[in-house]
Amino acid sequence: MICKTIDNTIYSIDISLETDFDEISLKLREIIKKNIDITFINKGKIIDAKSTVEQEGLNNSSTVIIVIKDAQEDKLMLPHLILVNIGKGIYEKKYTGKEIKSLLSKPMVFLNLLHAMGQQNPFFLSYLAVNPLLAHSYLYQNLDNPEFKVIVKCDDKKHDPIYPFMEEFNIEEDIDYNNIKYITTQTSNKDEDYVKRTYLSYKRDITKTLNHLTNLRV
């Protein structure tokens, strides 16, 4: 198997299809002769260390990307707490990873989050520039962590760069919930998940959604 670093250093090792990536890590440590941690990436996805070569659809002639770091250092992993400090006021608001994740489609929230992360961990910005797929993977791993928090400190609520988007999102969620409840009462289909997917696919158009669910032409 060909193991290639992000700076194009190549390590070639012979393995069987039953070999898992923990074993491959051990072989690479013997070659590199350092106490290191190794992350394997294939097609932009981090490979589970317990997964075998065969399970990942790879073989002995495949190439995977590896990211190497000192075993005692964890430079890329983002802190569980991101502090966005604006001004010196007493306003403080905490947001969970789940809340932030729901707002990533909002460009300003996404940019503010990356800026705050970069301030606390410049190494993250290097990966964002050189290997955005890896940075993206680590970002989502942290957002899915129940301990992850973003804390905004500023003069008052109107200066909070996240709150307006969160308020807008909550209003949209309430409207969607009420519309879906109405649609289910008007049709024989009571599967709310299916109704919601249909409703969103028609860009929140209630009439088109109802026409579709009642088998009428749109």
pLDDT tens digits along 50-82: 899 999 999 988 999 999 887 654 444 555 666
Taking alpha carbons only, the member of 98, 112, 82, 108 closest to residue 140 is 98
pLDDT beyond 80 at 48: yes
DSSP class of 52: B
Shared domain for 205 and 155, answered yes or no, is no
pLDDT tens-place string over residues 193-203? 888 888 888 88
User: Do 11 and 31 form a contact (C-beta atoms < 8 A)?
Assistant: yes
Angle at 78 between CA 9 and CA 163, to 5 degrees: 140
| β pairing state of 81-85 and 149-154 | parallel
Decide which of 70, 105, 120 is a domain's last residue: 70
Shared domain for 173 and 145, answered yes or no, is no
Shared domain for 103 and 156, answered yes or no, is yes
pLDDT tens-place string over residues 106-127? 777 777 777 777 776 666 777 7
pTM for the structure as a whole: 0.41
Residue 180 lies in a domain: yes
Residue 32 lies in a domain: yes
Shared domain for 61 and 7, answered yes or no, is yes
Residue 76 lies in a domain: no
Residue 218 lies in a domain: no
Residue 93 lies in a domain: yes
Shared domain for 95 and 58, answered yes or no, is no
Q: What percent of the chain has pLDDT over 70?
A: 84
- Quote the mean pLDDT of the chain: 80
pLDDT beyond 50 at 38: yes
Report, as an integer, the average pLDDT of 29-53.
86
Question: Residue 9: which domain range?
Answer: 2-70
Distance of alpha carbon 199 from alpha carbon 180, whole angstroms: 8
Decide which of 135, 161, 187 is a domain's last residue: 161
Q: How many domains does the chain have?
A: 3
Decide which of 20, 43, 70 is a domain's last residue: 70
Shared domain for 183 and 201, answered yes or no, is yes
Shared domain for 95 and 48, answered yes or no, is no
Report, as an integer, the average pLDDT of 32-41.
84
The end-to-end CA distance of the chain, in Å, is 54
Shared domain for 191 and 173, answered yes or no, is yes
Shared domain for 27 and 87, answered yes or no, is no
Report, as an integer, the average pLDDT of 138-162.
80
Report, as an integer, the average pLDDT of 153-175.
73
Q: Which CATH number do you get for residue 32?
A: 3.10.20.90
Chain centroid to CA 43: how far? 16
Shared domain for 144 and 180, answered yes or no, is no
What pLDDT score does 217 carry?
43
Shared domain for 22 and 52, answered yes or no, is yes
* pLDDT class of 170 with cuts at 50, 70, 90: low
Shared domain for 28 and 52, answered yes or no, is yes
pLDDT tens-place string over residues 7-24? 889 999 888 898 899 889
